[in-house]
Amino acid sequence: MPLPFADKTRFIHLLEEDPDRKACVFLRPWRFGKTLFTDMLLSYYDRAMRESFDETFRGTSVHGHRTPLAGSLCCVRLDFSQVSGCTEQAKSSFIRELAGALRDFTERYPELGLPCSALKTELYEEPAGLMKEFVANFRSRSPGKERLFVIIDGYDHFANSILARNAGASKETSSAAECPPGFIRQFYAFLKEAFGGVRGRPISRIFISGVSSVSLDSLISGFNIAANISNDPRFNAMAGLTREELSEIIDETVDFSELNGLTKEKILQVMESRCGGYAFSFQACERIFNPDMCLSFLKDLTSAKAMPESLLTESAGADPVRLEAILRLAAPDAREEITGRIQKREEITADPPVALSISQRGFLNYSQAVSLLMYYGYLTIAPQNERGSNKVMYRCPNEACYQVFNRYAESRSGRKEIRRTDL
């Protein structure tokens, strides 16, 4: 059952109207709708898709209110979600994915893209080398007015895979030499060099999406012009579902005549407890629902024609195995403090969300672990009691996540082993 469309085109105006957001980073938990949003950006801005604008955006808020840049840019969409999490293969895998994206660009813009002979991955030792070749070719072939929009989805996917794999090893033995931040830094440093939208700098806009702040330091150190809008309250609902959006989806997917008196309001209340509760800024006006959890819930609801009994869903926001991997990265005292507070349903006070390094030595400290748990969707930012404080309060977003923490605690005490079959 595909999740019906939730119109997020209203955020295009917000992204475009502020010059400080010409290059930005947007982080949300897995399967929160980031890939769909980057697909929308490609369809909206790409000059090669201009003729299909009416068909694609009919019925959306942006259809009758196009922004000045609609259908005017040459878009390069890079999807790094398939880059290998093996440190020995990460660079070559990165180059392959980059080459594939540039090949797609050439199919849409044969007069501006690299010829097939220049897209052979064995020609390049570094991803930055391939990107430089592409930009130089574009610059020489374009009439001078063409501008590039680089859209990157899953910038951190392989870094998260490395993180999960290293969780099983002793953190004291990890070393920066085992991790590949160098080629990432070089790649984004070149994007910065080519960014500006002026003569000789053809990249006019960049949008980068990902899950967590892992490897964000490598990105920022080479690409310090990017604005991180992840915790900006104006973009709180840019991914995920608002209550109003979920209400419309329920109307589209649920036949209430088959539900023995269950009302939409009752369904929304239960889903809020199990699938909602997310906020990515303490100034956020509303709490957001996890789309993947909602999809699973609605599938069970329509299949059983009754309220689903199972609290856990097979989603990124309710995965005991991944939670265990993350917590193993934390210092033992931090790990115990966090899980203890969650079991007591207490809020956690820590530093604001921070960037993490994939090559960091040793365990994560308390605030780093809390920050990572928030980015992965196990914690969320709570309403703040102390205005002006340099600390932020966090809590579990919903009952599903509370149960995941409880299962983790049970496994630690030897009462239950966490297995994939428990999901």
Evaluate if residue 177 carries a pLDDT over 80.
Answer: no
Give tens-digit pLDDT for 29-73: 988 999 999 999 999 999 999 999 999 999 999 998 999 999 999
Comparing 153-157, 250-254, 309-313, 394-398, the range with the smallest average pLDDT is 309-313
Q: What pLDDT was estimated at residue 418?
A: 42
Beta-carbon contacts of 330 under 8 Å, excluding residues fewer than 6 positions away, are 338, 363, 364, 365, 366, 368, 369
> 156 or 382: which carries more pLDDT confidence?
382
Beta-carbon contacts of 17 under 8 Å, excluding residues fewer than 6 positions away, are 67
Give tens-digit pLDDT for 354-384: 877 666 667 889 999 999 999 999 999 998 7
State mean pLDDT over 126-143: 94
**pLDDT band for position 325 (cuts 50, 70, 90):** confident
Evaluate if residue 288 carries a pLDDT over 60.
Answer: yes
Q: What pLDDT was estimated at residue 422?
A: 33
**pLDDT band for position 216 (cuts 50, 70, 90):** low
Q: What pLDDT was estimated at residue 139?
A: 92
CA distance 393 to 399: 18
| Distance (Å) of CA 378 to CA 198, 281, 290, 360 | 42, 15, 11, 22
CA distance 371 to 355: 8
Evaluate if residue 219 carries a pLDDT over 50.
Answer: yes
**pLDDT band for position 184 (cuts 50, 70, 90):** confident
Q: What percent of the chain has pLDDT over 90?
A: 61
Q: What pLDDT was estimated at residue 328?
A: 87
Q: What pLDDT was estimated at residue 96?
A: 96
State mean pLDDT over 292-307: 92
Report whether 241 contacts 37 (CB < 8 A): no
Give tens-digit pLDDT for 255-281: 999 998 899 999 999 999 999 999 999
Helix (H) or strand (E) holding 206: strand 203-210
Please, which residues bridge with residue 26 across strands?
209
> 27 or 184: which carries more pLDDT confidence?
27
For residue 245, give the 3-state DSSP assignment. Answer: helix
> 268 or 169: which carries more pLDDT confidence?
268
